[in-house]
Structure 1
Amino acid sequence: MVFETERLVVRQWDEGDLERALDTYSRWEVARWLGSTPRAWEGPADAQAFLERCRARAEADPRYGIWALERRDTGVVAGSVLLVPLPDGDGEVEIGWHLHPDSWGHGYATEAARGALAKGFADGLTEIHAVVRPGNAPSAAVCRRLGMESLGVSTRWYGIEMEAFRLGRE
């Protein structure tokens, strides 16, 4: 376990989660918002590669990761929350969330992100960023609920226009 919230256990992804990860990231309605070149996963090999990337990241630096959000009430993985260094970010760190559509609209992204922010600040980070594709109103709303400051549109980290947000440690 990485951390817990009222309704979620935030932990490393494991082999038993591969089917759920594939079901989440193979959906265009999820994938369309992710990465510099969005791509829906095509099969189990994508899920296995994801699991290996998550494990390697955890081994490299335990402050960072892409973690599974396991619902306490059902044991179902609602999606991911991440805390990772931004590409070309001079040490800047990004928070993000990717949820299965059946978990949208229940507050899991905000709840998990609050926990990840607390973890990041407890681990010594002084500020954390979020980047949101234009048009992704639900994720921008999560940023606002978290109290993140809008920095406007930037192409700084992924080479495409993204709305940037920042939160400093209090």
Structure 2
Amino acid sequence: MTAVTNELTTSRLTLRGWRVEDAPAALEVYGRAEVTRWLSPEMDRVPDVRAMKLLLQQWIAESARLPAPSGRWAVVRDADGLLVGGAHLLPLPPGQEDLEVGWQLRPDTWGYGYATETMHVLAGWAFGHDMDEVFAVVRPGNARASSTVRKNGMHWVGESGKYFGLDLQVFRLRMADLDAAAPTSPGPPGVD
């Protein structure tokens, strides 16, 4: 079972639809408390491969139903084929008219610019489908996510409690802001 999510590429990464057989590698992301602590309250740490398979089946079905540019992607490092994380463009509650860009990476791949590249290619994908803007919602204290969205040209627009009943920082990106913040060649591990 594979989603119809389109494949997207950066200079080092391929974003492709999730596959059920990705479950063991996906668990290296979504089974880690240091990753899931920053996600919505609807997303707990995944306890085992069986639960990860079920979640992937749900994501695959969801991506198949969503109109482009929305979807969920596995993020794969081209150099060695390692699944380094997941990413999404999903409608934001409550009205579902805005798109949220999001990503989650294996902790051992933090600091190499993969989040910045992933966010950049997803925003470009959204803008290529006539979206005027995309948003990121970040939990206060998540310095890595705040840094990544700013590197991609996102601007802080305030805090909101309308997403999942939490006070979250909201960032917005428009096409001109993305173009001005095009990723540069990756350097040594840093904050991203």
TM-score by length of 2: 0.84
C-alpha distance in 2 between matches for 1:81 and 1:50: 14
Secondary structure of the 2:101 match is: strand
Matched, 1:30 2:35: yes
Aligned partner of 1:160: which letter?
L
Shift of 1:85: 0.4
> Is contact 2:68–2:129 with CA below 8 Å preserved after alignment?
no
1:59 is matched with which residue: 64, 83, 103? 64
C-alpha distance in 1 between matches for 2:78 and 2:56: 22
Summarize deviations over 1:101-158 as a string: whole Å, max 9, x none: 0110000000011000000010111110000011100000001001101012211222
Secondary structure of the 1:63 match is: coil
How many residues align structurally? 170
Runs (5+) with no aligned partner, structure 2: 1-5, 177-192
Secondary structure of the 1:123 match is: coil
C-alpha distance in 1 between matches for 2:77 and 2:95: 32
Matched, 1:74 2:80: yes
TM-score by length of 1: 0.94
The structure 1 segments of at least 4 consecutive aligned residues displaced by more than 6 Å after TM superposition are none
Shift of 1:78: 0.7
C-alpha distance in 2 between matches for 1:76 and 1:17: 11
Summarize deviations over 1:57-107 as a string: whole Å, max 9, x none: 221124211201110001001101110001213401100110010110000
Give the match for residue 101 of structure 2: 95
> Is contact 1:110–1:145 with CA below 8 Å preserved after alignment?
yes
Aligned residues: CA RMSD: 1.4
C-alpha distance in 2 between matches for 1:106 and 1:29: 17
